[in-house]
């Protein structure tokens, strides 16, 4: 089987507010835009006992074996939604890690969207929301890569005629862990 190609666009939070915390994740409100910077995902069905996930490219270093893509596949396997089907996924990372651009979350979202579109999995909207929430609070935004507002109750409002922005993204030589930054927030 040949590889299918997916573009996974970087997400830019134009505004972000942490409104509370559930048992595992922080609840956020955010105004979001997507930029042309993207990771390239190659995916194909394979005959194997396990999924194969690899990362290449400039920003592929230090990506843990436990990442959003492996978490997505683990959840789908646990729910038996893939029915023993396994995939080889190769991600060319052009979105910097630990830059607040949602690279990993958007990778998981776009793979989930692909699996639904190609009918490898059959899920309703409630199940999709649940799967996204198990991975990360911003994953749901990647299912429709367009300007939107994410409300704290995980409701999304999409903009119909969003103005295009020219965006200059500057990435310093250090990164920040979203988990570490969120852990410092004490008042909601």
Residue 177 has pLDDT above 80, yes or no: no
- The percent of residues in the chain predicted with pLDDT above 70, rounded, is 98
Residues 6+ apart with CB under 8 A from 66: none
139 CA to centre of own chain: 4
Q: In 10 A of CB 68, how many CB atoms?
A: 21
Confidence of residue 57 (pLDDT cuts 50, 70, 90): very high
Q: Tell me which residues are annotated as active site.
A: 11, 138
Judge residue 73's burial from the number of C-beta atoms within 10 Å of its C-beta, 0-12 exposed, 13-18 middle, 19 or more buried: buried
Q: Does any domain span residue 112?
A: yes
Q: Does any domain span residue 156?
A: yes
CATH code (residue 62) = 3.30.230.10
Q: In 10 A of CB 129, how many CB atoms?
A: 17
Domain span including residue 91 = 4-183
Whole-angstrom distance, CA of residue 69 vs CA of residue 120: 16
Q: Does any domain span residue 188?
A: no
pTM over 0.95: no
Average pLDDT over residues 54-58: 95
> What is the SS3 assignment for 62?
coil
Q: Where are the alpha helices (DSSP H) in 36-95?
A: 68-78
Residue 94 has pLDDT above 80, yes or no: yes
Residue 110 has pLDDT above 90, yes or no: yes
Q: Does any domain span residue 9?
A: yes
Count of structural domains, the chain: 1
Confidence of residue 178 (pLDDT cuts 50, 70, 90): confident
Q: Does any domain span residue 159?
A: yes
> What is the SS3 assignment for 82?
coil
Whole-angstrom distance, CA of residue 91 vs CA of residue 25: 25
Tell me the HSE value of 162 on the side-chain side, using a 13 A CA sphere: 16
Contact between 111 and 105 under an 8 Å Cβ cutoff? The reply is: no
Predicted local distance difference test score (pLDDT) of residue 176: 78
Predicted local distance difference test score (pLDDT) of residue 117: 96
Whole-angstrom distance, CA of residue 23 vs CA of residue 30: 20
Q: Which two three-digit tokens encode residue 132?
A: 């996204």
């Amino acid at each position: 089987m040949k590889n299918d190609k997916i573009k996974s666009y970087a997400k830019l939070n134009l505004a972000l507010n942490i409104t509370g915390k559930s048992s595992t994740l922080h609840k956020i409100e955010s105004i979001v835009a997507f930029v042309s910077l993207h990771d390239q995902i190659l995916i194909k069905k394979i005959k194997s006992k396990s999924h194969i996930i690899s990362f290449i490219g400039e920003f592929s270093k230090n990506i843990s074996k436990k990442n959003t893509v492996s978490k997505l596949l683990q959840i789908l396997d646990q729910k038996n939604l893939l029915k023993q089907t396994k995939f080889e996924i190769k991600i060319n990372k052009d979105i910097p890690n630990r830059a607040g651009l949602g690279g990993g979350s958007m990778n998981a979202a776009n793979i989930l969207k692909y699996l639904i579109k190609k009918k490898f999995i059959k899920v309703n909207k409630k199940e999709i929301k649940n799967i996204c929430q198990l991975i990360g609070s911003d994953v749901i935004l990647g299912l429709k890569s367009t300007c939107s507002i994410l409300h704290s109750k995980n409701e999304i409002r999409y903009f119909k005629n969003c103005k295009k922005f020219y965006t200059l993204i500057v990435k310093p030589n250090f990164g920040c862990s979203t988990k570490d930054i969120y852990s410092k927030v004490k008042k909601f």
